[in-house]
Amino acid sequence: MSPAWWAAFGPAEAQLRCGDAQHRLRWADGTLEAVDHPDAEGELVLGALGGDTSPCLDVVAAWGKHCDDLTALAIGPRSASDQLTIPASVLDEITAASGSGQAYHGLGNPAAQAVSVMSFRAPVARLSTVIAASSGGSPRHIRRRVAARAMVLRRRRMLRGHASYGLAYGWHGRAPLRWRGSIAFDEARAELIRLLALGPSFQFRLSAAVAHAWSADGAKTGRAERARPALTAALAGRLAPAAAGWLDIDPEDVEVAVHYGANWGEFALIKSAGTGRLQARLPVGWLASVWAPGFAVVDRHMIVSVLDAAWPTARVLAVRSPGQDPVEQTIRSDNGHWSVTSR
Amino acid sequence: MTAAREDATPGRERAETYLRLQAEAELRRALAMPQYKPRDFRSQRAIQTRLMRRRRAVLDRFMRQHVLAATASSQSGLASQLRRAQAIAALPVVRRAAQSLAKARTIAAPPTAIVLKAGTGASNLLGGARALRWRLWQRSRMSHRRRGYQSPPAEACLTRLETLADVFAAVGAVTAETEEDVVGGLRAALAARSRIEQHALLDYHRFGGRAVMSYSGPGGHPMRRMAGGSSAPAGPPRAIPVGVSASGEIEGVPVRFYLGVLVFDHGGVTLTVRVRFPAELEKEDDSHMDPVYDAVNQISAVDDRSATYRADFSGGGGGGEWDGRLRLSPAPPPGVRWLDMALPGAPAARVRLDATPRDLSITTGQVTTSAADRFLDAQTIQLLSREVTDLDWESDDEDEQPLFLIASHLVAAGVLSVGSPSLRRLAAAGARLGTQLPELLAAIEPTELPADWLSLLARADRTDGPTGAIPIAAVLPEVDGIQCIIEELVSTPESATMHVHARGSARREQMWWSARDDAGGRYIVGEGGWSSDDDEANLDFEISPAINPQARVLDIMLTGTTTQVTVSVPLDWREGL
């Protein structure tokens, strides 16, 4: 039996401002908890009935909502050196648009949290998925920014010839592009940005959660075939830099396909005219159990599967070079760096 | 949130996978670029202001000294000595002034050069305009850079993917949702890595309103897709040709009005209108334009039952002309036989509501070619006739023709096969233009270019088109969820414009317009201006080259994904202003 996808992850913590206090968010064993809210469920029910909700619980709810969101893989990190920075101004924009002024800080990243409105239309167990950000009361600077964004979009369309007549003559009476209602940014995207702002440890853990959800053991496995293009790209985007370091080849020379079999997958190196092209087949679960904990390549071996894990150690299958059979290794994390302890 | 694909057909899956892998490749390219740090434009502006003030001071000082020297030379016998001394003293100033003037010239001169280049290089007015727009856009980016603005280098990565995704969606290789998802994902990924403006992290959308008919897609290619909305409302639209004109005078300015076609749609009634007045008056005195515009907004109507109607103008103009539509408010009820349009400074023009529509031949058929082939053919024709396409594609090699690269991507994604006839025609166009084809297309055997394509090339420079208008008022059958009314055809010696009213569509569709005359000539029908409101849109299509004066009938074709409609229009030109 394969270990839990989170078994090779250590715990992670972030701090955020919740009301007047500085609270902790703790991720362990695949679950995010608001440590300073022992009665989270009760607070969620109160919030659903019209009471105040807390930024801590909003983040926890957003985590639950996005732990199968493929957009997290589209935006999230591709490697340990791939740094994401979420600027405070963007988080402020989210906060201001949601009508709250409360800010939070996670792992040193200045961040701001929007107060969300809970709508009670599902059992308590499902409350984490029914949070919707408030849409009312945008401050003036947000409107200006949104208008500026709309202008940028219009200008781009004009440059492409969409409104050339409008440019030349200036339509009156009707705008070339009419926006019905107000313009807002995507709430789901805003939530995801807030989660990514918690810092790199949480970015990798969220990516792992999403990858696991779409893997053979995940909740979304039934729909994984339909999401195959997105999963293939997620796999390719992360395997390519790892494989480039492993085999000293160009990341563009890495071809990836999603593997659905019972075994770990396959690597084949096709050499021609002094260059090598890697053809790889790996399961989506590789992203969750191998890549995200940070041991895709250890000691010039590509790790392809985890046999057993209890952070900070893991027993893995590792491939020395394409075409060779994998060998068992035991690896250990020391200050975030994985190294082989025994073969 | 990324949704699983709606359509799991193998072709779409391959194309979507290819597109998403391209997004990953573009992200890797962008990661090799430096992070984008937007300049503080307030301080930038202050620096510019200081710089300009200094240059002005330098110029003033130089001029003062020059005048002083000249005055002194005329007043004194020591003039030559003084002048020489001052000239020597002024030398550094002169040098700096000359530098300032040179800088000013580099900013002012290029557009002039571009205009000349475009004007001489382009085969016709429309092609010239497009070429000019493209060159101006490129130049403006360079000019922005010169003035301190630098767009993020990684923006090119995003632009390439946007164009590719647009094309894939337009030819039906991926859904519109996939297109938005892939492009939005890369945009956010680049923003999160500070490779483009970080505010792109947030995905803006319309909030609280339903989707409306809108047009998007890569500029220039003749397809435009309508984004989701409701289906067409019950009741077919109607159109009545009017084609009446009237002359008048507004504040001493002679004005001529032309009323084209009356359209009944969505329970509303609109009337196409054109107003002409001497353009030179506008140049001499800008105030002349406002009375005309104000007058257009004062048009009203009275019916045969003495009921009055307001006529709200929407449209645009300049250079002595205002073109647009008058929306009658309230809409005339059934049974009204005519309207007298009260035109400012001109006699009333009668518009008959009980006139019978024109008896036009409208035929419907099945589409036999693939959307990808149609796309490529349309682009190839454009490339042949104008030597440019409007595909937005930035690459390090400026000589690379975007269309060939796009075609390579279509082949690599399995959207087009190497045996596709459109690819062979593209290869023939490449051979004709002397363009080196990319590796993936190099083995494709060119084929003969169709005769009507060659006829288009032969007529490319002609400026002998008829002058006039035809109120067509053709209500076309619904084509894949879109219903169009061809309102008018307006011809000038250089080109022609077709005005279309469209409505409906519950999903994005492809619309291809093309035209052929009875003399064997083919025409490019490209989108010009448009406006939209709810699920209605008013579209202008530019027809080029100039319509053959010998032609008697023009077949206008609208091709959707499954259906093609052809309307044959007798070319009986009337005065159309």
pLDDT beyond 70 at A297: yes
Amino acid, single-letter form, for residue B476: L
Residue A87 in domain = yes
* Residue among A104, A91, A101, A107 nearest A27 (CA): A107
Are B386 and B476 part of one and the same domain?
yes
Contact A323, A334 (CB under 8 A): no
Q: Does B201 touch chain A (CB under 8 A)?
A: yes
A255: closest CA of chain B, how far (Å): 10
> Rg for chain A (alpha carbons), in Å?
23
With 90 as the cut, is the pLDDT of residue B266 above it? no
What is the rounded distance in angstroms from the CA atom of residue A283 to the CA atom of residue A215?
7
A147 CB near a chain B CB, below 8 Å?
A: no
- The parent domain of residue B90 ranges over 41-146
* CATH code assigned at B286: 2.60.40.1640
With 0-12 CB in 10 A as exposed, 13-18 as middle and 19+ as buried, what is B567? buried
CA gap B386, B500 in Å, rounded = 24
Residues A65, A194 share a domain = yes
Interstrand relation of A275-282 and A254-258 (parallel, antiparallel or unpaired): parallel
CB neighbourhood size of B201 (10 A): 28
Contact B13 A228 (CB under 8 A): yes
- Buried b / exposed e along B429-451 (16+ C-beta atoms within 10 A): bbeeeebebbebbeebebeebee
Whether residue A151 lies inside any domain: the answer is no
Question: Between chain A and chain B, how many beta carbons pairs sit less than 8 Å apart?
Answer: 205
Which candidate from A159, A174, A185 shows the least CB-CB separation from B533?
Answer: A174
Instruction: Name the residue among B294, B13, B108 with its Cα closest to residue A224.
Output: B13
Report the distance separating Cα A230 and Cα A74, nearest Å. 8
CB contact under 8 A, B530 and A172: no
| Gap from A176 CA to chain B (nearest CA, Å) | 4
Q: Which residues contact B560 (CB under 8 A, 6 or more apart)?
A: B367, B479, B480, B481, B482, B509, B510, B511, B512
pLDDT higher than 70, residue B379:
yes
Map tokens 């391209």 to a residue.
B22
- CB count, 10 Å around CB of A227? 22
Q: Measured between beta carbons, which residues in chain A are less than 8 angstroms from residue B392?
A: 159-160
The CB-side HSE value for B6 (13 A sphere, CA atoms) comes to 9
Is-contact A28 A311, C-beta < 8 A? Answer: no
CB distance from B529 to chain A under 8 Å?
A: yes
Q: What is the pLDDT of residues A164-193, one digit of tens each?
A: 222 222 222 222 222 333 445 678 888 999
- Residue A128 distance to chain B (closest CA, Å): 16
Neighbours of B321 (CB within 10 A): 18
Helix axes B176-192, B10-31, angle to 10 degrees: 20
Residue B137 touches chain A, beta carbons under 8 Å = yes
**Residues A188 and A268 occupy one common structural domain:** no
Residue A186, pLDDT score? 77
For CA atoms B500, B501, B504, B507, the dihedral sign is positive
Question: Looking at the domain assignment, is residue A278 inside a domain?
Answer: yes
- A165 in any annotated domain: no
What does A56-105 look like in DSSP terms, one character per residue? Answer: HHHHHHHHHHHTT-HHHHHHS-SSTT------HHHHHHHHHHHT---EEE
* Residue B486 forms part of a structural domain: yes
Question: For residue B186, what pLDDT is reported?
Answer: 96
pLDDT exceeds cutoff 90 at B292: no
- The least confident of A93-107, B273-287, B454-468 is A93-107
Q: What is the mean pLDDT of chain A?
A: 77
Q: In chain A, positions 283-302, which contact chain B (CB-CB < 8 Å)?
A: none
What would the DSSP string read from start to end of B173-184?
SS-HHHHHHHHH
A319 and A234 co-located in one domain: yes
CB within 8 Å: B13 and A229: yes
CA distance A194 to chain B (A): 11
B272 plus B401 within the same structural domain: no
Top-confidence residue, B561 or B551: B551
Residue A241: inside a domain = yes
For B11-70, the three-class secondary structure string (H helix, E strand, C coil) is HHHHHHHHHHHHHHHHHHHHHCCCCCCCCCHHHHHHHHHHHHHHHHHHHHHHHHHHHHHH
Across the interface, whether the CB atoms of B533 and A196 are under 8 A apart is answered no
Q: Residue B277 domain-assigned?
A: yes
> Do the Cβ atoms of B17 and A241 come within 8 Å?
no
Highest average pLDDT, of A137-151, A191-205, B127-141, B317-331, comes from: A191-205
To test the contact with chain B by mutation, choose from A174, A258, A287 the residue with the greatest count of B C-beta atoms within 10 A, namely: A174
Same domain for B374 and B338: no
Residues in chain B, how many? 577
Q: A129: which chain B residues are within 8 Å (Cβ-Cβ)?
A: none
Please name which of B502, B505, B508, B506 lies closest in space to residue B558, comparing C-alpha atoms: B502
What is the Cα–Cα distance from A74 to B189, expressed in whole angstroms? 7
Chain A hits for B293, CB-CB cut-off 8 Å, are: 172
Rounded CA gap, B206 and B194, in Å?
25
Separation between Cα atoms, residue A290 and residue A316, nearest integer Å: 9
Are B404 and B371 in the same domain? yes
How far is B547 from B496, CA to CA, in rounded Å? Answer: 7
Phi, psi values for residue B215, rounded to 5°: -120, 140
Question: Is pLDDT at A78 greater than 80 in this prediction?
Answer: yes
One domain, residues A200 and A247: no
**B201, B214, B527 member nearest A90 (Cβ):** B201
Final residue of a structural domain among B352, B381, B401: B352
Reported as a single tens digit per residue, the pLDDT across B36-63 is: 887 655 555 666 666 666 666 666 665 5
pLDDT band at residue A19 under the 50/70/90 scheme: confident
Which B positions 370-409 lie with beta carbon below 8 A of chain A? 390, 392
Q: Do B201 and A236 touch (CB under 8 A)?
A: no
Do B487 and B568 belong together in one domain? yes
Q: Which of A175, A209, A243 is the last residue in one of the domains?
A: A209
Residue A161 lies in a domain: no
Rounded distance between C-alpha atoms, residue B92 and residue B84, angstroms:
14
Distance (Å, whole) CA B220 – CA B224: 9
**Binding-face residues of B in 531-550 toward A, CB within 8 A:** 531-533, 540
- Residue A196 has its nearest CB partner, among B192, B199, B315, at B192
Q: How far is A200 from chain B (nearest CA, A)?
A: 12
- d(CA A308, nearest CA chain B) in Å: 31
Is the Cβ pair A177, B532 closer than 8 Å?
yes
Strand partners, B205: A184
Q: Are residues A125 and A263 in the same domain?
A: no
Q: Of B102, B117, B146, which residue is a domain's last?
A: B146
The answer on A288 and A193 residing in a single domain is: no
Cβ of A85 within 8 Å of Cβ of B315? The answer is no
Closest approach of A95 to chain B, Cα-based (Å): 12
Phi, psi torsion values for B411, nearest 5 degrees: -70, -45
What is the 8-class DSSP label of residue A22? E
Domain assignment present for A64: yes
**Would you state the pLDDT for residue B234?**
47
Is A71 at the interface with chain B, CB within 8 A? yes
Cα separation, B270 vs B324, in Å, equals 10
Residue B390 has a pLDDT of: 67
**Locus of tokens 């290029």:** B110
- Indicate the range of A122-131, B100-109, B535-544 predicted with least confidence: A122-131
In a domain, B94, yes or no: yes
Is the CB of residue B325 less than 8 Å from the CB of residue B299? Answer: no
- Same domain? For A227 and A296 the reply is yes
pLDDT above 50: residue B90: no
Closest CA to B537 of B568, B511, B564: B511
- Do residues B434 and B310 share a domain? no
For residue A128, give the nearest of A185, A208, A211, A45 by alpha carbon.
A45
For residue B288, the SS3 value is helix
| Chain centroid offset of residue B493 CA | 20
Q: Is residue B199 part of a domain?
A: yes
Query: Does residue B210 belong to any structural domain of this protein?
Result: no
Residue B559 maps to a domain: yes
Given a contact cutoff of 8 angstroms between Cβ atoms, the answer to whether A212 and A5 are in contact is yes
**pLDDT tops 50 at residue A120:** no
- Three-state DSSP class for B103? helix
Confidence of residue B412 (pLDDT cuts 50, 70, 90): very high
Of the ranges A120-129, B212-221, B281-290, B478-487, which one carries the lowest mean pLDDT score? Answer: A120-129
Q: Is the pLDDT of residue B107 over 90?
A: no
Chain A residues 51-70 with a CB less than 8 Å from chain B: 66, 69-70
Q: For chain B, what is the domain count?
A: 4
Specify whether A118 is located in the same domain as A247.
no
Do B125 and B180 have their domain in common?
Answer: no
Helix (H, G, I), strand (E, B) or coil at B559: strand
Does the beta carbon of B445 lie under 8 angstroms from any beta carbon of chain A? no
CA angle B225, B230, B233 (to 5 degrees): 110
In terms of domains, do B363 and B403 share one? yes
Compare CB distances from B316 to A83, A166, A225 and report the shortest one's residue. Answer: A166
Average pLDDT of chain B to the nearest whole number: 76
Of the candidates A69, A150, A161, the beta carbon closest to that of B2 is on A69
> What percent of chain A has pLDDT above 90?
58
Q: What percent of chain B is modeled with pLDDT above 90?
A: 39
How many domains does chain A fold into? 2
- φ/ψ region of B484 (left if φ > 0, alpha if ψ in -120 to 50, else beta) reads beta
* Chain A residues inside the 8 Å CB shell of B313: 172-173
Rounded alpha-carbon distances, angstroms, from residue A286 to A67, A318, B92, B471: 16, 12, 69, 65
Å between B8 CA and nearest CA of chain A: 6
Choose the closest CB to B212 out of A87, A180, A227: A180
Domain check: are A281 and A335 in the same one? yes
Same domain? For A226 and A133 the reply is no
pTM: 0.72
SS3 of residue A38 by DSSP: coil
Cβ contact B188–A251 (<8 Å): no
Written as one letter, the residue type at B233 is: P
Residues B23 and B55 in one domain: no
Tell me if A110 is assigned to some domain: yes
Residues B339 and B400 in one domain: no
Which H or E run contains B83? helix B79-121
Residue B530 has pLDDT above 80, yes or no: no
Residue A50, domain extent: 12-137+184-209
> Quick one: B123 and B65 in the same domain?
yes
Angstrom CA distances, A54 to A39, A62, A65, A209, B151, stand at: 12, 12, 16, 24, 40
Put simply, the answer to whether A84 touches B193 (Cβ < 8 Å) is yes
Q: How far apart are CA A236 and CA A238, in angstroms?
A: 5
Q: How far is CA B369 from CA A50, A205, A267, B10, B365, in A?
A: 58, 48, 40, 20, 12
Give the DSSP per-residue string, A258-281.
Answer: E--SSS--EEEEEEETTEEEEEEE
Q: Is B214 on the interface with A (CB under 8 A)?
A: yes
Instruction: Give the pLDDT band of residue B116 (cuts 50, 70, 90).
Output: very low
Same domain, A129 and A45: yes
Residues B417 and B366 in one domain: yes
Which of A86, A176, A226 is facing B201, going by the closest CB pair?
A86
Q: Does A158 touch chain B (CB under 8 A)?
A: no
Q: Considering chain B, what percentage of its residues have pLDDT values greater than 70?
A: 68
Whether residue A82 is predicted with pLDDT greater than 70 in this model: the reply is yes
Q: Which residue of B6, B14, B16, B17 to mutate against A (max A Cβ within 10 Å)?
A: B17
Judged by DSSP in three states, B573 sits in coil
A94 reaches B (C-beta below 8 A): yes
- Work out whether the CA dihedral B367, B368, B372, B378 comes out positive or negative: negative
Q: Per the CB < 8 Å rule, is B314 touching A173?
A: yes
Q: In DSSP terms, which residues pair with B523 in a beta bridge?
A: B515
**HEC sequence for B217-246:** CCCCCCCCEECCCCCCCCCCCEEEEEEEEE
Which residues in chain B are contacts of A149 at CB distance < 8 A? 199, 204
A196 shares its domain with A304: no
